Amino acid sequence: MCHVERGACSVYSRLIFSLTMSTNAVLSPIERSISTRLALVFALRMFGLFVVLPIFIPYASGLPLGPFPFLDINSPHTSAIAAGWAMGAYGLTQAVLYIPYGMASDIWGRKRVITLGLLMFAAGALWAAYADNVFSLTCARALQGAGAISSVVVAMVGDTTRDEVRTRAMAMIGMSIALTFAASLIVAPVLFEYIGMFGIFILIATLALIAIGLVLSIPFAQKNTPINGRDSLKTVLTDAKQWRLNIGVFVLHAVQMAMWVVLPQRLSDLNMSHSNSAWLYFAVILISMGIMIPLIIRAEKYGKMHIIMALSIVLVGVAQLGLAANIGELIGVALALLLFFIGFNVLEATQPSLLSKLTHPSTKGAAAGVYNTVQALGLFAGAAGGAWLNVHFGALGLFIATAALSFAWLLMHLQKTTAR
């Protein structure tokens, strides 16, 4: 395992070097240092969200339901739907708080707000460790979601990087998330076996505290003078170009979460253990990142961002059709995952970068707040809606729905989004 981890770190280092040094405009040492630390903050937090994915639904389904409102306790599908709510609950509270966090960071500073969010995230993880029913677990996950720092971190990247290198800085964060996703899926079954879900949630809380130390170590003094909060939000909410990106990130993350309602069972049906499934995820994510880099470089160098983004949306949609068709069984699933992650990783890097170019410096936090609010709604809608679709229409109906959503997004994107 250590050999594999060192190899993965070496691959990651080469990917970062390629991304930051591939064109004449490169990240300066201070830009690279800050972006790396922010990528690690993102990675530590996202590990806490990703590491439970392969084991969360079976774990939550085995707990007593508790006093769960809005659900019919006599329905045979209640446990499955409640588990889906618990998995996606953090997305709902993130959606409520991203805009206030983003606007607050414009006024009181990015570092203070990020620190507050990470403390909330750690508190939610501690609560989840002691949750003894699905309702309590859902509330704990909702408190984790109250650590809604993504919008503030994205705004901070925008503050600390130049326009011409910002996509590469965003890609560093995107790659850290992708690698964290792959690594968390590999270690999740091992962690669950040795320390249980209680230990996993304690680990998540510890990593959040480490992330606070990283944030406080960043040499950054915010200089932007914010405009009036109401004017800031009005400016952001009435920008049609920003809304195309907001809707896009909703679709991307709704599709991602809906996929993971079904994928673990699909791979289990193909006689793949949790551990083997995680290695499959790891392989396709590494390959997808290797393909992502030249696509991003080409998009920046030749002004082809709109085309590359459209191609990436197509890949996401085609992946859903491949999963719906279930062609080639395991090979087909692997190919569909590869197509999905190529598209996903490119869009994760390019959309926030384009957003930061579309907004005024004094409204970066508010704009990122709206963007991440819609993203969080997508996470919740994907988890809860995916569980509902799977119960009523099966995996085929779920993947047809995610494919339709992806291609609807493509049609909207083709109304060209350009930076002003």
Question: What's the CA angle centered on 352, arms 359 and 412, to 5 degrees?
Answer: 85
Taking CA atoms, 362 is separated from 40, 105, 156, 211, 228, in Å, by: 25, 10, 12, 26, 10
How far is the C-alpha of 117 from the C-alpha of 255, rounded, in Å?
26
Residue 297 vs residue 283, higher pLDDT: 283
How far is the C-alpha of 254 from the C-alpha of 402, rounded, in Å?
8
Average pLDDT on 215-232 reads 66
Residue 224 vs residue 368, higher pLDDT: 368
CA-based end-to-end distance of the chain:
48
Predicted confidence band of residue 361 (pLDDT cuts 50, 70, 90): low
Question: What's the CA angle centered on 267, arms 266 and 272, to 5 degrees?
Answer: 150
Strands of 18-166 (E only): list them. Answer: none
260, amino acid identity: W
Residue 305 vs residue 223, higher pLDDT: 305
Predicted confidence band of residue 73 (pLDDT cuts 50, 70, 90): low
Residue of 327, 341, 315, 326 lying closest to 394 (CA atoms):
326
Residue 117 vs residue 348, higher pLDDT: 117
365, amino acid identity: G
Structure tokens that stand for 411 in this block: 């049609």
**8-23 b/e (C-beta count within 10 Å ≥ 16 → b):** beeebeebbeebbebe
Residue of 105, 140, 88 lying closest to 368 (CA atoms):
105
pLDDT digits (tens, 9 = 90+) for 332-350: 889 999 999 899 888 887 8
Inter-helix orientation angle 240-269/364-413, to 10°: 70
pLDDT for position 232: 66
pLDDT digits (tens, 9 = 90+) for 151-209: 788 788 878 888 777 777 777 777 777 678 777 877 887 888 889 999 999 999 999 99
Helix ranges, 51-109 (H): 53-61, 78-108
pLDDT for position 12: 43
Find out whether 374 and 248 touch, Cβ atoms under 8 Å: no
pLDDT digits (tens, 9 = 90+) for 8-56: 444 444 444 444 444 446 778 888 888 889 989 988 988 888 888 778 8
The whole-chain average pLDDT of the chain stands at: 80
pLDDT for position 118: 95
How far is the C-alpha of 353 from the C-alpha of 358, rounded, in Å?
9
Average pLDDT on 296-307 reads 76
All domains of the chain in start order, with CATH: 24-66+76-413 (1.20.1250.20)
Average pLDDT on 390-413 reads 91
pLDDT digits (tens, 9 = 90+) for 1-17: 333 333 344 444 444 44
Residue 311 vs residue 164, higher pLDDT: 311
Average pLDDT on 318-335 reads 87
How far is the C-alpha of 375 from the C-alpha of 242, rounded, in Å?
13
